Amino acid sequence: MSEPLQRRAVRVLPETVANQIAAGEVVERPASVVKELVENALDAQATRITVSVEAGGSKAIEVEDNGYGMSHEDALAALERQATSKIADTEDIVRIQTFGFRGEAIPSIASVSRFTLMTRTAEDESATELNVVGGTLEAVTETGHPVGTTIRVRDLFFNLPARRKFLRTAATELSRIRQSLTAIALAYPQVAFRLRSEGKDLFRLPEGDALEDRIRTLLGQPIFQSLTAIHHTENDITVTGYISRIDTPALGTPEQYVFVNHRAATAAQIQYAVREVWPLRDRRPHAILFVDLPPEGVDVNVHPAKREVRFRRGNLVINAVSNAIAHALNLFTAPVEPDPAPAPISVATPVSVAPAIAPVVPATPPPLSPVAPLPTPQIPKPAVRPATQQHLTFTTPPGSPYPPPSQPAAQLAPMTPPLTPPPAPPAEKVNFAWLRIADILETGYWLVITEQGYVTVDASAALERILYERFMAKTEQPAIQPLLIPEPLTLSPTDAERVNRFLPELEACGFGISAFSADTFLIDALPMALTEVPPQTLIPEIATELDKTGVRKGIDNWRKEVAARAAASAAARTLHVQTKEAAEVLLHQLSTCAMPYATPRGRPVMILTTYRELARRFQR
């Protein structure tokens, strides 16, 4: 038992401790430092910003701008907490139109690094240089520097080794920096941005770009060609930008950038609006959305790092974003006129018909190469069912061709029905034994009679579950299908950087892939089960999974995903069960599965309707 805490007096924290606590809110990783310093440069009206990093930013970060700079007195004041030039009273707080207004970024960053600031205004003849180590000001000197500000941050978290241990690899941290700067560069196409790593340019964006040029450069030409423009205004809310067209195939990892009054931010209402109006449920769209509204209608001070915003009237924002996307995608159709009434109505009642959403079928890319027939390996021994899973109990009917479970089941070969019924599995290894199949419907469902009621079985889902567990029982090395002609794959810079980091892991997943140029790869082999899936969607998805969950878990998740997709594809192609005898065999095979009640994707295999429920519905 732990000892009770000792009573302590309330006291004011030392300045260095307070700054380090604030740094925990504002400075999470090198990308946070870049974001705060670049936003300060934009507030200083900079038109050219250069970011240079070493070792993913953990060793060094330098941000140079040509903004209006700071005087000697302002530079010293910037090191104090709550010091800012961007608000003067409480009225300014509710009408914020700048980025870093809290005045904590510079002292917070300086408290956890070796920090150098050089700045000069147009009125000053010399620049001011400040050197800070771990929050302690060590030197103030005059130096030469052009108009603007340069900030160098070295050895981030050198005095907080516990925080430094939480940083990821240099490649991962560099990717976060690139993503953060990409969002800012999309919001300000008129500003020139340059990102350098280890002395090499990652991108160099000219001053005075159009938004379309920025999208082409940062996200790639293929993604830009798949977008449609958005422009809509209602209730003093203007929504502009781009979103994927619904008649284009998925391209890479869906990237969504949301800007509220040109500040990159997240808002639950906007995410909800995009999700609800987007008609395709099997994939997310690429989107670059600018939502502009009066500053008093949005609270940007909800999060310490200002990543989240809150709206005063969120329902108006939802309506504006939903209508903007619906108009851009032509989801509105003409109202349907109601049929004329057979007799006149004495009191006229106006009828309003809500606009309908036109059904859209996404384009399906052609297969890359012929798909070889899937093998049918031996079914693995069934795993022990979870204790929480509900059991269904059945008995063998009179005249049934199957004896009570006593012998191992033979293998199911759904590709070559009709099938010869095998003996049932041993009782201790069977989740349930079937009574009898009452009927096979043309819709692909089977009706199975039980003691408790009847079960509706989706035959395709049942086969999908059986094949999935077969594939998972195979060796971890996937079967590979070489391509006759290597296929080029061009990705967005963000996806390309991520794929480059995980090339060995992608090869382990069964892909023959090699880098051809900065953003282009050559594909000469694919996993056998996935030759019909377009690699421009598949490969970025795997790289993103590896980045999110780590290599070991990511490969394991991907192996399950490969098996799930292969099972779904094989079940759709090979299910030809048309007789009750063949269906009985399939049900016996299903009984050996570790989880026979759902597909790998969570779709139900069977639905039980009890006699008690029938009696309740018929009011017996």
Q: What is the DSSP string of 149-198?
A: EEEEEESTTTT-HHHHTT---HHHHHHHHHHHHHHHHHH-TTSEEEEEET
More confident residue, 564 or 372: 564
* Over residues 549-554, mean pLDDT: 67
CA gap 282, 565 in Å, rounded: 13
| Residue type for position 534 | P
Query: Three-state DSSP class for 65?
Result: strand
Q: Which residue has the higher pLDDT, 535 or 474?
A: 535
d(CA 140, CA 392): 79
**595 contacts 465 by C-beta, under 8 angstroms:** yes
Domains annotated on the chain, with CATH: 15-209 (3.30.565.10), 212-328 (3.30.230.10), 377-620 (3.30.1370.100)
pLDDT value, residue 306: 57
What distance in Å separates the CA atoms of residue 495 and residue 502, rounded to the nearest whole number?
A: 11
Residue 322 has pLDDT above 90, yes or no: yes
pTM of the model: 0.64
**What's the pLDDT tens digit per position in 189-227?**
999 999 999 999 998 999 998 999 999 999 888 889 999
Cα distance between the two ends of the chain: 60
Altogether, the residues listed in the chain come to a count of: 620
Contact 285, 244 (CB under 8 A): yes
195: which strand partners?
Answer: 51, 203
**Comparison of pLDDT for 445 and 129, the residue scoring more:** 129
More confident residue, 541 or 390: 541
CA atoms within 13 A on the CB side of 391: 10
At 144-194, the pLDDT tens digits run 999 999 999 999 999 888 888 888 889 889 989 999 999 999 999 999 999
pLDDT in tens, 397-427: 333 333 333 333 333 333 333 333 334 444 3
**What DSSP assignment string belongs to 538-568?**
HHHHHHHHHHHH-HHHHHHHHHHHHHHHHHH
Q: Which stretch of 73-82, 553-562, 597-606 has the lowest confidence by average pLDDT?
A: 553-562
Kindly report, residue by residue over 88-97, the tens digit of the pLDDT: 454 545 455 5
User: Rounded to an integer, what distance in angstroms lies between the CA atom of residue 15 and that of residue 19?
Assistant: 6
pLDDT of residue 126: 94
Which tens digits make up the pLDDT trace of 3-53?
A: 555 666 676 667 666 656 555 567 889 999 999 999 999 989 999 999 999
Bridge partners of 284, per DSSP, are: none
CB 111 within 8 A of CB 135: yes
